[in-house]
Amino acid sequence: MTSIKNKSLLFIIGVLLISNLVMVGMYLFGTKERRPRVRTQRSPIEFMVKELSLDDKQAAAFKEMLDTVKQKNKPLLDSMRTSRESLYKNLKAEPQPDSVILSYANTIGKIETELTINNYEHFRKLRAMCNPEQQLELDTLIQRMGRRTARKKGQ
């Protein structure tokens, strides 16, 4: 009886070992071409036009509004980057001056406030040019984007 059990176990182990070796061989030496997954990257304009079903006139107006807000935000983003770089340069200093660190943090906070207001105004203008059905979709979309941004910052 134990001899039959041993033979059965050896047979099962042998089958599993051979199947594992075949799987490893297929993985390492497989003849299939490995194609990289192509991720289609859509521009914000294409994304919003599709999601909100904007017509050509609305799409053109949205593109113009987006260009305007980007131009408005660019110097703010540059200024915030410079302030952050200056802030983190203080890591080398001992003792670290609290007043300087607080000053940089306040500056960054003010810039962040301006960016938030600019973006809010941008979406307010976009919402004003949408019809009621598009407004509902935009409201949902903005809420989803807000949750996604909060998740990214919380990581």
Q: The tokens 């770089």 sit on which residue?
A: 85
What are the domain boundaries of the chain? 1-31, 44-154
Q: Are 87 and 108 in contact (CB under 8 A)?
A: yes
Q: With respect to CATH, is domain 44-154 assigned 1.20.120.1490?
A: yes
Using the predicted structure, report yes or no on whether residue 152 has a pLDDT greater than 80.
no
- In this predicted model, what pLDDT tens digit does every residue of 110-129 receive, in sequence order? 999 999 999 999 999 999 99
Q: Are 49 and 62 in contact (CB under 8 A)?
A: yes
pLDDT tens digits along 37-61:
565 667 878 888 888 888 999 999 9
Alpha-carbon gap, residue 53 to 134, rounded angstroms = 7
pLDDT confidence of residue 128: 93
The structure's pTM equals 0.65
pLDDT of residue 96: 76
Mean pLDDT over 86-104 rounds to: 84
